[in-house]
Amino acid sequence: MGRGAKSKIQDWPLMERPGFLARRLHQIHVSLFAEFSVEFGLTPLQYSLLSVLSGLEETDQTTLANRVALDRTTTTGGLKRLESRGLIRRRTSPSDRRAQTCAITAKGLELLDIMDGAVKRAHKETLQPLNVEEQKKFLELLCRIVGHQEERRAKVS
């Protein structure tokens, strides 16, 4: 039972590796999102930021980054692109001059409203190969993985 006796990883098909499948799933959704909503010029990330902002009052960037589970740097980049299109506004926090706060604009709310149907279709289409029960089960399991790993991350950092 020395080393070499167990199967090597190159004998493990890509389609059975969780990491590979995770990358593909993400890739597929981004592709479908683009397909359904190219004309709006928002990426899934930018859309997430905008839709979360729509449910919040003026918020500082760190809080927002945590909400969408993003690096602060990535958040800054996305917000800058949204700001340049007038979909959000940013300013220095009046209570803490280190902090930047941001809020959605009327134009941003309007775009969200217009995109609503296309975005829902993109999400739906991602799971389309499964039947309704399977979709429910899949989302439940996926949600548990993400939820637990978030706790894990919280412990580590």
The residues of the shown chain that bind a second copy, judged by CB under 8 A, are: 8-11, 14-31, 33, 44-45, 48, 51-52, 54-55, 67-69, 112-113, 116, 119-120, 122-123, 126-130, 134, 137-139, 141-149, 153
Least separation, in Å, of the C-beta of 100 and a second copy?
22
Quote the tokens at residue 93: 């926090």
Residue 97 binds to DNA (criterion: CB under 7 A) = yes
Measured from the CB atom, the residue of 22 and 38 that comes closer to a second copy is 22
Residue 27 binds to DNA (criterion: CB under 7 A) = yes
CA distances 57 to 75, 105, 107, 126, 153, Å, are 17, 11, 16, 31, 27
Residue 72 binds to DNA (criterion: CB under 7 A) = yes
Residue 150 binds to DNA (criterion: CB under 7 A) = no
Least separation, in Å, of the C-beta of 104 and DNA?
16
Residue 73 binds to DNA (criterion: CB under 7 A) = yes
Sign of dihedral through CA atoms 104, 107, 109, 115? negative
Q: Which does 85 bind (CB under 5 to 8 A by kind): a second copy, DNA, none?
A: none
Binding footprint of DNA on the chain (CB under 7 A):
23, 27, 30-31, 34, 43-46, 60-62, 65, 70-74, 76-78, 81, 90, 96-101
